[in-house]
Amino acid sequence: MSTHVSTSNPVRSDVLDPGPYAGTPAPAASRPTGHPAHPGHPGRAWTLAGIAAGLAGIGTLVTSSLVDVVYADRFAGTTDGVATALQDKAGVMFAFHTVTALGAVLTVLFAAGLYRRLRAALPDSTIPLVAFAGLFGTAVVSILGSGLDTEYMMSLAARDGYVDDATSAMYNHWIGTVPWLWTLAGLTGLAVFVAARRGAVPRWTGRVGLVLGGLTLLLGISPLEYMAGVTGSVWLVVTAAGFALGDRAHRAAAR
């Protein structure tokens, strides 16, 4: 009678058995389902935030303009009676504060989405960062522009005489100027223009950035700085709407 003993001597004793699927695709049940979103495809929520931010910016200009007591001819050279006159504007001040603060938050959301959109096409460029910084700075200015609201509108609404004429006049000048300073949004517009020149975004979006963004920056630098709010907010609405409705090529490529 003979006995046969079988032995196995792998070349590498520290390598695990590759299993039955070695060299063949794993069965469907073992494959992961779904896939992470493409890093260059941030969706469209940020574009909607941008449209809303631009509209809120326009709302800021409208409500701010309605609080125009200090600009009346009867207060030329004097502040006597400004606080009393502003009491009737308290409701508008509440609306101004809400729309301005909300617009600032939405501007940051759009800025983040724009940064990601440009970064996907220009990974080694500083253009995405410049574009983000311009809108982020604009949002900060908006928050500061509405920063004195509670201090004044609460007292004026209560008609408690807590605030005096001189500081009330200063507050009216503040909200009539600071929230309009969209100067840095113009810098973002020009960044989008440069990105369009490099083929990263649609050409017409770049042209809008050159015209409205460039004008916003020039107005902000000039003594007519408050007018930057007009062109800046319009630029934001048009640009965000453009990315929402006219950026199909990028979204298709990112899928």
Tell me which residue range forms the domain holding 209: 45-254
- Contact call for residues 128 and 122 (beta carbons, < 8 A): yes
CA–CA distances in Å: residue 225 to residues 56, 64, 176, 183, 220: 19, 15, 12, 7, 4
Residue 5 lies in a domain: no
Residue 29's pLDDT is 38
Is the residue at 18 inside a domain? Answer: no
Give the burial class of 167: count Cβ atoms within 10 A of its Cβ; 0-12 exposed, 13-18 middle, 19 or more buried.
Answer: middle
- d(CA 119, CA 132) in angstroms, rounded, equals 11
| Domain count for the chain | 1
- Is position 115 within any domain? yes
Q: Are 140 and 189 in contact (CB under 8 A)?
A: no
Torsion of CA 60, 62, 63, 69, to 10 degrees: 130
- Looking at residue 249, what is its pLDDT? 56
- At 251 the pLDDT is 54
Please name which of 164, 170, 171, 168 lies closest in space to residue 146, comparing C-alpha atoms.
Answer: 171
pLDDT of amino acid 6? 52
Token pair 């299993």: residue = 19
The pTM of this model reads 0.80
Residue-level pLDDT at 250: 53
Q: Is residue 120, in this structure, part of any structural domain at all?
A: yes
Query: What is the SS3 assignment for 135?
Result: helix
Determine, yes or no, domain membership for 17. Answer: no
- Has residue 83 been placed in a domain? yes
d(CA 97, CA 59): 10
Instruction: Note whether residue 25 is domain-resident.
Output: no
Each residue's pLDDT expressed in tens, for the chain with a length of 255 residues: 455 555 555 544 444 444 443 344 434 433 333 333 344 445 789 999 999 999 999 999 999 999 999 999 999 999 999 999 999 999 999 999 999 999 999 999 999 999 999 999 999 999 999 999 999 999 999 999 999 999 999 999 999 888 999 999 999 999 999 999 999 999 999 999 999 999 999 999 999 999 999 999 999 999 999 999 999 999 999 999 999 998 765 555 555
Cβ atoms of 208 and 238 within 8 Å: the answer is yes
> Is residue 10 in some structural domain?
no
User: For residue 7, what is the DSSP state?
Assistant: -
The H-or-E segment that residue 47 falls in is helix 45-66
pLDDT for position 109: 98
Query: 196 with 239: CB under 8 angstroms?
Result: no
- 163, 167, 168, 170 alpha-carbon torsion, rounded to 10°: -160
